[in-house]
Amino acid sequence: MSFRILIFIAGLSVLTLTAYASEYQLQIAKGNTAYSSGKFQEAVTTYASLVSQGFESPDLFYNLGNSYFKLNDIPHAILWYERAKRLDPGNEDVIFNLNVANSRITDKIDPMPEFFVKRWVRTLTDIYSMDSWAVAGIVFLLSALLFFTLYVASRVLLIRKLGFWAGFSALVLSAVFLLFAWSSFHSLMSDQSAIITTPTVTVKSSPDEKSTDIFVIHEGCKIQLVDHIGNWYEVRIVNGSVGWVEQSVFEKI
């Protein structure tokens, strides 16, 4: 393949990506205009069309949550706020609006006590997104390599000491930040949660419509997906109660 063809392909790729980004910005602007004008259903349709095209961002999901909230569709507002929070755990606007939306649902369930170390680590990890922790870890790793190079190359004792200790400190911070990034990634991959979107759901003792009713939950309630058999899912709520519901009553976060 000639050099000119490679240049042509690269240029075409850049133009395609630019057009793609421009279309995204145009649709976001259209959705924002509809939202500002009080046309909340139109805003939902516009934002949702971007999601169907594969776009993902905390702002996009946050805007969808706000639009559903204005339509008084609290379950879907919570769903999209949760999706935004998953991408940007420390976003204060998302957290605030999610708390407001959760205050509007029927179920007020007290969570099980959490071991303080686990709670502390999760809170600390959620300050920034997985990507932010990873970038910070890589930056400090490169800094550590730079300082250790200074330690090896310098003949001045003071500079060698500074290079060693600065490199050691940067390496430790890099390890901590990369550990937080891994923890965030692991939580993202292992967290199988969903939001109930059906007004009232009777949770069963087994994956069978004729099985015993054990408790009732309502739309907007967050559940953890434990297992599934066909269209039936074993779910857990925050107080530890476990039962079975059909797939049609919830949407995965």
- At 73 the three-state DSSP class reads coil
Task: In whole angstroms, give the CA distance from residue 75 to residue 98.
Answer: 11
- At 20 the three-state DSSP class reads helix
3-state helix/strand/coil string of 81-146: HHHHHHHCCCCHHHHHHHHHHHCCCCCCCCCCCCCHHHHHHHHHHCCCCHHHHHHHHHHHHHHHHH
Question: What does the DSSP 8-state code read for residue 248?
Answer: G
What pLDDT was estimated at residue 244? 97
Hey, what are 218's tokens? 């309502």
Q: Torsions phi, psi of 206, nearest 5?
A: -150, 165
Query: Which residues have C-beta within 8 Å of that of residue 142, sequence separation ≥ 6?
Result: none
- The pLDDT tens digits for 127-186 are 888 888 999 999 999 999 999 999 999 889 899 999 999 999 999 999 999 999 998 888
Cα end-to-end span (Å), the chain: 45
- At 189 the three-state DSSP class reads helix
Task: In whole angstroms, give the CA distance from residue 192 to residue 194.
Answer: 7
CA atoms within a 13 Å half-sphere pointing along the CA-CB vector of 38: 0
What pLDDT was estimated at residue 96? 97
In the chain, what is the greatest distance between 2 CA atoms, to the nearest angstrom? Answer: 81
What pLDDT was estimated at residue 7? 54
Query: Which residues have C-beta within 8 Å of that of residue 250, sequence separation ≥ 6?
Result: 194, 195, 196, 197, 198, 223, 233, 235
Instruction: Say what the alpha-carbon torsion angle 215, 201, 101, 61 is, to the nearest 10 degrees.
Output: 130
128: closest CA among 174, 177, 77, 192? Answer: 177
- For the chain of 253 residues, list the mean pLDDT of each consecutive stretch of 10: 51 50 86 96 96 93 98 98 92 96 93 74 80 93 95 90 95 94 81 94 96 96 95 95 97 95
Predicted TM-score (pTM) of this structure: 0.74
What pLDDT was estimated at residue 20? 58
